[in-house]
Copies of this chain bind each other. A is one copy, B any other.
Amino acid sequence: MTTPPDELDAADPLAPFRDRFVIDDDLVAYLDGNSLGRLPRATLDRLAAFVREEWGGRLIRGWSEGWVDLPVEVGDELGAALLGAAAGQTVVADSTSVCIYKLLHAAVGLRPGRDQIVIDATNFPTDRYLVESVASARGMEVRWLEPDLVENVTADVLAAALDDRTAVVLLSHVDYRSGTLLDLPGLTRQVHEAGAVVIWDLCHSAGAVPIDLDAAEVDLAVGCTYKYVNAGPGAPAYVYVAQRHLTDAAQPIAGWWSAADLFAMSDTYEPSASVRRMLSGTPPVAGILAVQEGVRLIAEAGVDAVRTKSEQLTAYAVELVDELGLEVVTPRDPARRGSHVTVRHPDARAVTERLVERGVVPDFREPDLIRLGLSPLTTSYAEVAAAARILGEVTAPIG
């Protein structure tokens, strides 16, 4: 017998954060904050003020009055609040895909003479496609890990692929399908022992799972902001470059915003000595402000409190799905999962459609997975309970 959801919500120290978001939709349960987070009220106000007063009122002067520094300023805030990154190593820029591309080139350049990039076949498509593209451009080989979806990349799986040909390993901190949380410090150490460089894709973890990139001596990292950071559809991504690599991390999209002196309009290109070298073109100001508001909400709640609620939400979801007799794919040990719970069902696509018709929004992943994304600042236990009830109804055998 599970605890009634209203008791859990009443006892939830993060429950008041739900009121900091716009929630006036027609939904019974929004369980897709791991694809697109809800809209913070502060962001609504901030964007309106930015458009009307800053763009409309300050016009070009806005650049010298602060916009020019936003990629690094918000990068530093995000790094401190979510990534365990000291200032000067994180910058908000582009899309995740463009950032992965830049980091792959930078990483390969840090290990001349080595000719393999390692990635798992379970990784998100954009990561896999970009690894193939960069490997091909640099005359390298892709070495594929083929882990079990749920166990995902363990020390043993990784060990079998590492040798003195390994230049770079690209791993996702939380698997986008199973929700499995990888051992970031341990796998990072293992990559380093093989003399290679690691890139961590934090898309499905940052904002929901505590991360300490500096302490783990991670080399490079990347993530998006439209999931648990709640920065809106197509919000910009971020990259992290460890201080020790800043001088040598060379990325090829050498636009003017990566140059040492942005407005010198210099004859020759000299990359910035700072993390600005990871920029390329003019940054999307409104998008970065939305990132800043999203980051501040998480910082205010505290990543540890967020993680605690995430573990409890996922445990509650696992318990309720178990009661329905459906298959939970996600690891049962809370320490081994991120903030979504994945259910396997032979008719997953149809079940997802029926859930949406009933006002429950999860998402579907080919071929047979239903992801229940639990976003700690906005998801209530009542939502999880309602979703589980309706999931039971739409999957119940007829008659």
A residues engaging B (CB < 8 A)? 22, 24-25, 27, 30, 32, 35-36, 38-39, 43-44, 47-48, 51-52, 55-63, 67, 94-98, 100-101, 121, 124-126, 128-130, 132-134, 137, 224, 226, 232-237, 252-259, 263-267, 269, 280-288, 356, 361, 363, 365-366
| A36-B51 contact, Cβ under 8 Å, with A94-B95, A96-B281, A256-B129 | no
Across the A-B interface, give the 5 residue pairs with the lowest CB-CB distance, nearest first. Answer: A95-B281, A97-B255, A97-B281, A234-B284, A39-B56
In this complex, the member of A24, A43, A47, A134 whose beta carbon has the largest number of chain B beta carbons within 10 angstroms is: A47
Docked-complex contact B233 and A266, CB < 8 angstroms: no
Q: Which residues of B contact A280 (CB under 8 A)?
A: 95, 97-98, 101
Docked-complex contact B285 and A24, CB < 8 angstroms: no
In this complex, the member of A24, A100, A286, A361 whose beta carbon has the largest number of chain B beta carbons within 10 angstroms is: A286
| A233-B38 contact, Cβ under 8 Å, with A97-B256, A286-B286, A366-B265 | no
Q: Which residues of B contact A98 (CB under 8 A)?
A: 94, 98, 253, 255, 280-281
Docked-complex contact B94 and A233, CB < 8 angstroms: no
For A21, give the chain B residue with the smallest CB separation.
B56
In this complex, the member of A35, A56, A134 whose beta carbon has the largest number of chain B beta carbons within 10 angstroms is: A56
Docked-complex contact B44 and A47, CB < 8 angstroms: no
Q: Which residues of B contact A282 (CB under 8 A)?
A: 95-97, 224, 226, 233-234
Once the chains are docked, how many angstroms separate the CA of A264 from the CA of B137?
Answer: 25
Once the chains are docked, how many angstroms separate the CA of A52 from the CA of B24?
Answer: 10
Once the chains are docked, how many angstroms separate the CA of A361 from the CA of B51?
Answer: 19
In this complex, the member of A63, A95, A96, A134 whose beta carbon has the largest number of chain B beta carbons within 10 angstroms is: A95
Q: Which residues of B contact A97 (CB under 8 A)?
A: 253, 255-257, 280-282
Q: List 22 A-B contacts (CB under 8 A).
A: A22-B52, A22-B57, A24-B56, A36-B60, A38-B59, A39-B55, A44-B56, A62-B233, A67-B233, A97-B256, A97-B257, A98-B253, A98-B255, A101-B252, A133-B252, A233-B286, A234-B283, A234-B284, A234-B288, A263-B366, A286-B286, A286-B287
Q: Beyond A98-B280, A234-B284, A284-B284: 19 further Cβ-contacts under 8 Å?
A: A32-B59, A36-B60, A44-B51, A44-B52, A47-B286, A61-B356, A96-B281, A97-B255, A125-B259, A126-B257, A129-B255, A129-B269, A133-B254, A226-B282, A233-B284, A234-B283, A234-B287, A265-B366, A287-B287
Q: Which residues of B contact A132 (CB under 8 A)?
A: 254, 269
Once the chains are docked, how many angstroms separate the CA of A232 from the CA of B283?
Answer: 11
Docked-complex contact B56 and A255, CB < 8 angstroms: no
Q: Which residues of B contact A259 (CB under 8 A)?
A: 125, 129
Once the chains are docked, how many angstroms separate the CA of A281 from the CA of B280?
Answer: 15
Docked-complex contact B57 and A130, CB < 8 angstroms: no
Docked-complex contact A30 and B55, CB < 8 angstroms: no
Docked-complex contact A59 and B44, CB < 8 angstroms: no
Docked-complex contact B94 and A94, CB < 8 angstroms: yes
Q: Which residues of B contact A30 (CB under 8 A)?
A: 59
Docked-complex contact A57 and B237, CB < 8 angstroms: no
Once the chains are docked, how many angstroms separate the CA of A237 from the CA of B98?
Answer: 14
Q: Which residues of B contact A233 (CB under 8 A)?
A: 55, 62-63, 67, 282, 284-286
Q: Which residues of B contact A55 (CB under 8 A)?
A: 36, 39, 232-233
Q: Which residues of B contact A237 (CB under 8 A)?
A: 281
Q: Which residues of B contact A281 (CB under 8 A)?
A: 94-98, 126, 237
Once the chains are docked, how many angstroms separate the CA of A138 from the CA of B48?
Answer: 44
Once the chains are docked, how many angstroms separate the CA of A264 from the CA of B63?
Answer: 40
| A265-B121 contact, Cβ under 8 Å, with A47-B51, A95-B94, A133-B254 | no
Q: Which residues of B contact A130 (CB under 8 A)?
A: 253-255
